[in-house]
Structure 1
Amino acid sequence: MERFAALYEALDATTSTLEKVRAMEAYFRSAPPEDAAWGLYFLTGRKLRRLVGGGALRTWAAALTGLPAWLVEESHTSVGDVAETVALLLDTAGIGGTAEATTSLTTWARDRLPRLGQLDETERQALMVSWWRELPTRQVFLLNKLVTGSLRVGVSATLVARALAGVAGLPVAVVTHRLMGDWTPSETLLPTLIAPGETAAEVARPYPFYLASPIDGDPAQGVIGALDAFVAEWKWDGIRAQIVRRRGETFVWSRGEELMTDRFPELLVAATALPDGTVLDGEILAWQGDRPMPFAVLQTRIGRKKVSARELTAAPISFLAYDLLERDGVDWRERPLHERQAELARLVEAVPSPRIARSEPAVAGLRVDEHGVDRVRVELPLPPVAALAADAVGRLAPLE
């Protein structure tokens, strides 16, 4: 765990993105494969469930150091982070091991920490104290972060992908794509992620999701440009998702990188009409007739991995496609939006099921306000809209 603790410290000590990327590259190159996989797990924002509360850590630290509870609480108020507070108090009291503590991150994450959840309060305290006595200060800090479920590393998913791409010699886009979806740390994970060519796991993998974001600059100063250079889309209140159709199989992914195929069997059936090598980006909605149902209806389907016939009838769903991300196994994200949408319209029209449809552009909702700024104005019950440049590549130029 020392190697990852050192990386965490290095990332926290700099605001330079280049230095962060270099530190992660060095970690991925030097760490054993399974340790590197667990490091990647935490770097990408995943975390273990909380095993110990912050209050318990402070109480145990007070008992171990002999400090009065009020002083521990005041220290916590001053520092602001319970994991750091406890690590500093133990260090000041001379409690802790040496830098030679070499138990691997894998052993901690896979074997040691899960034991805490199986113990009662007294046993958990005794085990935590024994670990505090064993570890040097920065590992104590990392341990405290892990057990309280508060480990957050100051790097974005993009920087992590850049670091892995640097190690692998692959395009960042390829690594970003491979990091999507559900995966578990293992000895084979990192070699698979950085392997040249296509991997078996990529058959099911979605593309990164891009969300609407504001433009930079003042729209009144001509940043937006001509009205006819934009396409307006309805901003539906559903579940942002991708339908992936490859090698005769269908996969439905949520924006949260959760595989949801079994929850929406209607889409599984409807997607069989899509040609192999197709990926659609869109929104899953509870839909009846010619209009969406309330989001609360869709919520009755979200938490169910197996859906009954009654639920299929009470909460019918449809997938409204915004964009075409892949066609015939080729990444289309770099093609202009108007070209992607034209092909999307042709593809969806060939699907006989109404469960997959195109989210029609909201061109009629566009107006120019009194300041000469292009806006979108719609009346309820229609949803808000987002506008995208008609020649934009990817989905990187949306407006709110």
Structure 2
Amino acid sequence: MQAFAALLDALLFTGSRNAKLRLIGDYLRSTPDADRGWALAALTGGLDLKAVQPSLLKALVTARVDPVLFALSHDFVGDLAETISLLWPGVPVSEGAPSLDEVVRRLSGLSRAEAPAVVEALLDSLDPQGRYALIKLATGSLRIGVSARLAKTALADAFGLDVEAVEEVWHGLAPPYATLFAWAEGRAPAPLASDLPVFRPFMLAHPLEETPLDLDAYVAEWKWDGIRVQLVHAGGETRLYSRSGDDITASFPDVAAAFATPAPFPATLDGELLVRTGDAELAAASFNALQQRLGRKAPAAKLQSEAPAFVRLYDALAVDGADLRAEPWTVRRAALEGLVSRLDPTRFDVSPLIEAADWTALEALREGARDAAIEGLMLKRRDSAYIAGRRAGLWYKWKRAALTADCVLMYAQRGHGKRSGLYSDFTFGAWSEDGALLPVGKAYSGFTDAELNGLDRWVRSHTVARFGPVREVEKTYVVEVAFDSLHLSKRHKSGLAMRFPRFFRLRPDKPADEADTIATLMAMVAD
């Protein structure tokens, strides 16, 4: 456990990507099997220790430490694990701290009733660094600047493997990954992904920055505003994966069932998960409609009926046992169009191609696309193979221009991690007809470090009220906010919900009473 704690500590204070790769690689090479397997699972988000909740940890620490001291410390530090690890009373560390394998096995399968005593004993057996690692591990929120892809790349680099080969078999393996490390060290052959419904890494696009492109070499299609998914049917099983490789089959059983019937055939397809607006044809609703179903692990039949999901297909990675990823886009597109007739037409269709006489005409189509379910355009080389990750020159995303509005800052909250000492999460509003300022969104990006420092100073000197970690500020500071779309919302007092809001420009020079109104924003609402 102490070695894992030291790794987390080093990663937390390392900004360099290459340095992080070396740290993880060194740890994986020098650590015994079970420990390094659980560490890799933690770094890639593969651990879920449900019995340990933040509420349990707070109850344990406030039973030993003054609750007011804890609350004030947590508010200032901003990170639960760091606060508890430092405040936990100085019980002498017992000889022989538990291994990472011991910790995971003790925490796995705990009942809620057993959890307090076990977690308390583990905290007592570790030093502050170990306690920090324990809490991060148990709550599943490492927040150390390491993505799942980076951890897999570190594994591949450390043992001379191809990271795409690792990704290929990843979802067929389970922690602590004894099979994976046996392969990595040459003690066993590579695990096979054949006949298993495993996830294949998505091909991704670069933002289009230089225009125009040669439309004889590239094809255009709409970039739909849902969530990217991969449908897999193999070995008699069906899976639905998100872009990050999470298995979301249980959240969309209607789609999975439709893909497995009436005559299932082995295939791996790439597409966009959307919600239907009508029964006659697959008209896509806005992302706001899809949000009703996201995150629900067992959606009720009523919800499935009211918000029926479907997949608009982009690509075919494999069909009838043949891997098509090395084939050019034209061949894969023909295969996709040939198989769609074998699928349920109420659940699947093919994303249409866009015909444009020239680049000027295509640009006009993009600018005019304010459909609620369209984000912009995708441009794909006709001869491109399906290659995992982003490869320059093959696929581009060309999003429509963002909408903007002038809004007034209303509330600010301190951030987490490196931003725990700064007010970096901002709620902003627009004016109603009767002159009230109503919240319309919240953003924590879009500003430079220098601008954030300036905003933090402004918040501290213009606070009018405090509500725990939140400060209400004078309604005088205007910011220009960019967002992808606006939707009606019953959950917000303003009746509006912004999609991907972020700061676009600071406007402290502009009078607050000249900021935009709710009526102006209502005119931007997507249908």
Q: TM-score range by the shorter chain?
A: 0.7 to 0.9
Q: Which runs of 5+ in 2 are unaligned?
A: 400-527
* Shift, 1:346, TM fit: 3.1
Structure 1 gap segments, 5+ residues each: 64-68
Q: Distance in 2 between matches of 1:39 and 1:179?
A: 15
- Indicate the residue corresponding to 1:97 in structure 2: 93
Task: Work out the CA distance in 1 between the residues paired with 2:309 and 2:263.
Answer: 13
Match of 1:260, as an amino acid?
A: T
1:39-90 alpha-carbon deviations (Å, 9 max, x no partner): 1221012443342436435524525xxxxx5554444444332322332344
Shift in Å at residue 281 of structure 1?
A: 0.4
Equivalent pair of 2:43/2:142 in contact (CA under 8 Å) = no
Cα deviation for residue 119 of structure 1 reads: 4.6
2:128 counterpart of 1:133: no
Paired residues of 2:273 and 2:312 also in contact (CA < 8 A): yes
Q: Separation in 2 of the partners of 1:88 and 1:280?
A: 49
1:187/1:177 CA distance change after superposition, 3 Å:
closer
Q: Secondary structure at the match of 1:144?
A: helix
Query: Which residue in 1 is equivalent to 2:59?
Result: 56
State the structure with bigger RCO (CA 8 A, min sep 6), 1 or 2.
1
- Secondary structure of the residue aligned to 2:261 is helix
Which string of whole-angstrom CA distances, capped at 9 and with x for unpartnered residues, describes residues 70-121 of structure 1?
A: 554444444332322332344xx744416x533122221232465472259x
Query: After alignment, is 337-346 or 361-370 more displaced?
Result: 361-370
Question: Which secondary structure does the structure 1 equivalent of 2:207 belong to?
Answer: coil
Among 103, 113, 123, the residue aligned to 1:108? 103
Query: Equivalent residue of 2:337, what SS?
Result: helix
Query: Which amino acid letter does the alignment assign opposite residue 185 of structure 1?
Result: P
Q: Secondary structure at the match of 2:270?
A: strand
Aligned to 1:283: 272
Partner of residue 199 from structure 2, selected from 194, 201, 206: 206
Equivalent-residue separation in structure 2 for 1:192 and 1:204 (angstroms): 22
Compared with structure 1, are the counterparts of its residues 318 and 364 closer, same or farther at alpha carbon in structure 2 (3 Å cutoff)? farther
Do the aligned partners of residues 56 and 210 (structure 1) sit closer, same or farther apart at CA in structure 2, a change above 3 Å counting?
A: farther
Task: Give the AA of the match of 2:258.
Answer: E
Aligned with 2:228 (options 230, 235, 240): 240
Q: 1:166 to 1:329 in 2, by over 3 A?
A: farther
**Match of 1:341?**
333
Say if 2:85 is the partner of 1:87. Answer: yes
Tell me how far 1:286 sits from its aligned partner: 4.6
Q: What secondary structure sits across from 1:203 in the alignment?
A: coil
Aligned residue for 2:143, secondary structure, equals coil
The alignment partner of 2:142 has SS state of coil
For 2:114 and 2:146, the matched residues in 1 are separated by: 33
Amino acid at match of 1:152: R
Runs of 4+ deviating beyond 6 Å = 310-315
- Amino acid aligned to 1:56: A
1:253 alignment partner, one of 241, 266, 275: 241
For the residue of structure 1 that corresponds to 2:39, the secondary structure is helix
SS at match of 2:260: helix
Checking the alignment, whether the CA contact within 8 Å between 1:180 and 1:208 is kept in structure 2 is: no
Distance 1:165 1:193 in 2: 11
Aligned position for 2:180: 190
Q: What SS does the corresponding residue of 1:258 show, helix, strand or coil?
A: coil
Instruction: Check the 8 A contact 1:44/1:157 in 2, yes or no.
Output: yes
Q: TM-score, normalised by structure 2?
A: 0.59
Tell me how far apart the structure 2 counterparts of residues 21 and 377 of structure 1 sit (CA, whole Å).
44
Whole-Å Cα distance in 2 between the matches of residues 297 and 164 of structure 1? Answer: 36
Distance 1:211 1:3 in 2: 35
More strand by share: 2
Task: Give the deviation of 1:259 after TM superposition.
Answer: 5.1
Task: Judging by fraction of residues, say which structure has more helix.
Answer: 1
Structure 1 counterpart of 2:351, from 348, 352, 359: 359
Q: Is the 8 A contact 2:259 2:343 kept in 1?
A: no
Q: Which moved more, 1:318-327 or 1:183-192?
A: 183-192
- 3-state SS, counterpart of residue 280 of structure 1: strand
Percent identical: 33
Please, what TM-score do these two structures have when normalized by structure 1?
0.75
Distance 2:358 2:58 in 1: 54
Give 3-state SS (helix, strand or coil) of 2:5's partner: helix
Q: In 2, Cα distance between the equivalents of 1:199 and 1:165?
A: 17
Supply the AA of the counterpart residue of 2:2: E
Aligned residue identity for 1:138: Q
